[in-house]
Amino acid sequence: ALESWGVKPLVFRGGKHKAPVGLIGEVSDEGMKTIQTMIDKTHNAFKRHVLTARPKLAKQIDDVATGDVWLGCDALDVGLIDRIITSDEYIQQRLRNGVRVLKLVNYDKRRFPFAGIHPQRTVAKLFTDASNILSKISNFLSS
């Protein structure tokens, strides 16, 4: 299609199988075969990974590893998941079990504890700064 507009696509590759099919250039049977082989290898690795976590699916792995999207209730029925809960329920459950759960907060560069240190300061000033920094870290972590 590009040639009809006078554009000659140029594709440079770093190896025989580097970008076998691209947005421009020729799509060869060999390129398509290479891509399909890569996809098949990835899919087989995925199935092995699922079986590592869910060995009871060994007899039906080809029935469930089809590339389809599973609704939660259907995934539960076939054994792909253990239960259906919200993320809040999961976190509360983990907290009840004594697991330390960290809260993700937005990082504010203005509150970064080390923002005020400069190499030209005296050693005494650095010790004072270190004390202030530890205080800032403590306040930062507790907020």
Question: One digit per residue, pLDDT tens: the chain, 143 residues?
Answer: 677 888 887 777 788 777 788 777 778 888 899 999 999 999 999 999 999 999 999 999 999 999 999 999 999 999 999 999 999 999 999 999 999 888 877 776 666 565 555 555 556 666 677 777 887 888 777 76
Q: What is the distance between the alpha carbons of residues 45 and 48, in angstroms, rounded to a whole number?
A: 5
Q: Encode 50-112 in three state secondary structure.
A: HHHHCHHHHHHHHHHCCCCCCCHHHHHHHCCCCCCCCHHHHHHHHHHCCCCCCCCCCCCHHHC
Write down the pLDDT at residue 1: 67
- The pTM of this model reads 0.56
- For the record, the structure tokens of 94 come out as 């983990």
Cα dihedral 94→69→29→44 (10° resolution): 40
- For the record, the structure tokens of 71 come out as 């609704």
If you ran DSSP here, which 8-state letter would residue 28 be given? -
**Identity of residue 111:** R
- For the record, the structure tokens of 34 come out as 């290479």
Rg (CA), the chain: 28
